[in-house]
Amino acid sequence: MALRDASRAAEALRHARALVITAGAGMGVDSGLPDFRGDAGFWKAYPPYERLGITFVGAANPEHFERDPTFGWGFYGHRTNLYRETVPHAGFAILRGWIERFELDHFVVTSNVDGQFQKAGFPEDRILEVHGSIHHLQCTTPCSDSIWENREEIPVDGESMRAGRIPRCSRCGAVARPNILMFGDYAWVNDRAARQQRHFDEFLAENRGARLVVVEMGAGTAIPTIRYLTEEVGSLPGALAVRINPREPRIRPPHLSLPCGALEGVAAIDAILSEDHPA
């Protein structure tokens, strides 16, 4: 742990006006969620797919919902159930504590589709899910731009990874799918994500020139969407970025790097902040 950088991050938070939280798959690891890092990591989480020789890219393909929907919904139904059962780790509460303590305007930008920030109490209108959400559905066709809440109960056979039932579009009866941007996806309805993006753009405009801290957690380089956004926002006047990542923590100065997991990183910063006001 780079204690000097943790101390500098704490000092920046003490004087910040706004906080942008950016998060990739590594954010959920401390909650017990898999991050699908590489084929070996994916197969460790889902052994049946190793037997079938299917990678994460192969499983997260929208074609399954057209060709073999019980197989497509096997993967996404299992993930839906997993995310519903998962309890957000303590790092989420630490972040919320900073927002309340320092009265920070804030926004969350995440590539995760798990809905953990909403479950942890972050307001819906302060979250941008750049790849969509498993907790919302759309038509596979799609017959319209309609997006609706995923209230489906989807039993999944753990051996075959096939779903016991298939959600349907209430408008046309076609197979429904998660409102998630998948690999090779040309049918994703991005209206919800576009609305979230507009809210984020408004947030940035309102905080132009303000002291702003970006705290990035668990965002890797394989799909670097979140890392690029962190660096883009961190380059704004008055902004400072803090990258928390156990494997790929590098970031250009003057930004800060903590080579550890999300929970360990925010807890280290919080411990320094707590020295100001001990319990």
What residue segments make up the domains of the chain, in order of their start? 1-276
For 238, other C-beta atoms within 10 Å of its C-beta total 14
Position 279 scores a pLDDT of 47
The better pLDDT of the pair 177, 37 is held by 177
**Residue reference for tokens 């930004």:** 255
Cα–Cα distance measured from residue 213 to residue 98, given in angstroms and rounded to the nearest whole number: 11
Tens-digit pLDDT profile for residues 239-266: 999 999 998 899 999 999 999 999 999 9
Position 52 scores a pLDDT of 85
pLDDT at 72 over 70: yes
pTM of the model: 0.95
pLDDT at 78 over 80: yes
**Residue reference for tokens 């907790």:** 135
The better pLDDT of the pair 217, 222 is held by 217
- The CATH number of 1-276 is 3.40.50.1220
Mean pLDDT of 148-169: 95
Q: In this structure, are residues 105 and 207 in contact, taking their beta carbons and an 8 Å threshold?
A: yes
Report percent pLDDT > 70 for the chain.
97
DSSP codes of every residue in 66-110: HH-HHHHHHHHHHHHHHHHHPPPPHHHHHHHHHHHHTT-EEEEEE
pLDDT at 38 over 80: no
Q: In this structure, are residues 57 and 183 in contact, taking their beta carbons and an 8 Å threshold?
A: yes
Judge residue 11's burial from the number of C-beta atoms within 10 Å of its C-beta, 0-12 exposed, 13-18 middle, 19 or more buried. middle
Mean pLDDT of 74-89: 96
Position 277 scores a pLDDT of 59
Position 35 scores a pLDDT of 78
Mean pLDDT of 198-209: 97
Cα–Cα distance measured from residue 201 to residue 197, given in angstroms and rounded to the nearest whole number: 6
pLDDT at 143 over 50: yes
Position 2 scores a pLDDT of 67
Mean pLDDT of 22-46: 86
